[in-house]
Structure formats: structure tokens, C-alpha cells
């Protein structure tokens, strides 16, 4: 919805960026209430996103390091979240891109390590699917 409003109002062509651009776009369509809608939505989505990522990170920390790793994780997480209030939008996006890129590293390592298992399971699945299909064809004749 936000992308559609930005395109319809041509707000993306202006000098504004981020929440300012979105607030401007909604206020051009919905007058003053538009900026309030964006503000309330941003607060709700930002808050739930912070809580959600905290939970995911905490579960991963517990899996990797045990219960002893949770407190240090929480302290670092709180410091990072609090420091976000003092950073510019550009710096926050760069940090978010770096962290998202870093998440790909363990996933790529796991894919490489599990490639033989994945190939074996895939072959097994297609054999089972083929057997089921041939049994269904025999029954229907």
C-alpha cells in the first residue's frame, strides 16, 4: 500500500526520504490524518519488529551458546536498539544491509554442508511421487 501511495502521489521524485516521504505522501492524499496514520503505523510496526527480532535472536543465541549466552545477547541487543535513535537513516540502512548479508553466510555454509543430504532426499521424494502416480494410474484403469 505504501509503495502504491508513493507512486500515485509522485512523492518518490522529491527530496524527502524514509518516513518523511511516506508521511508526506499519505498527507497529500488523506490531508492531516494521513501523517498520523503513518506515525501510528510506524510506531506499531517498528515496535513489533524490534520485539520479533529480539525473540528470534534470543532463541538462536540459546541454541548456539546455551542459556548462558542470553544475557550478553540481550545487553548487546539493547545497546544496538538504543543507538539506533542517534544514527541517521542512511547509517541504519547500511548496518541493516550488512547484518542481513552476514545472515547469508551460515545459510550458505549449511547449504554446502548439506548438499548431499538434500540431493538424496530430493531423489527419494521424486521416486516416491513417481510410485504414487503410477499406482494411481493403475487403479483408475
Q: pLDDT tens across 120-132, in order? A: 999 999 999 998 8
| pLDDT of amino acid 137 | 66
The residues, any chain, with a CB within 8 Å of residue 21's CB and separated by 6 or more, are 6, 11, 12, 14
Over residues 61-78, mean pLDDT: 94
pTM listed for this prediction: 0.61
Q: What is the pLDDT of residues 98-121, one digit of tens each?
A: 988 998 998 899 999 999 999 999
Q: How large is the C-alpha radius of gyration of the chain?
A: 24
User: pLDDT tens digit string along 10-67?
Assistant: 888 888 887 788 888 898 888 889 888 888 988 899 899 999 999 999 999 999 999 9
Q: Which residue has the cell 516521504?
A: 21
3-state secondary structure (DSSP) of residue 35: helix
Look at residue 140 and tell me whether its pLDDT is greater than 80: no
Rounded CA separation 35/27 (Å)? 5
Distance CA(88)–CA(86), nearest Å, equals 7
Domain boundaries defined on the chain:
1-86, 89-141
Amino acid at each position: 500500500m505504501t509503495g502504491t501511495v508513493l507512486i500515485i502521489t509522485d512523492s518518490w521524485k522529491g527530496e524527502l526520504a524514509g518516513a518523511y516521504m511516506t508521511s508526506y505522501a499519505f498527507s497529500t492524499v488523506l490531508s492531516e490524518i494521513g501523517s498520523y496514520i503513518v506515525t501510528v503505523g510506524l510506531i506499531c510496526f517498528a515496535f513489533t519488529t524490534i520485539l520479533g527480532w529480539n525473540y528470534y535472536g534470543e532463541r538462536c543465541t540459546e541454541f548456539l551458546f546455551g542459556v548462558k549466552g542470553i544475557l550478553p545477547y540481550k545487553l548487546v541487543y539493547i545497546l544496538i536498539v538504543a543507538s539506533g535513535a542517534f544514527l541517521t537513516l542512511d547509517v541504519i540502512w547500511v548496518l541493516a544491509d550488512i547484518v542481513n548479508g552476514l545472515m547469508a553466510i551460515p545459510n550458505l555454509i549449511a547449504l554446502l554442508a548439506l548438499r548431499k543430504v538434500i540431493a538424496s532426499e530430493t531423489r527419494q521424494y521424486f521416486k516416491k511421487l513417481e510410485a504414487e502416480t503410477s499406482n494411481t494410474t493403475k487403479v483408475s484403469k
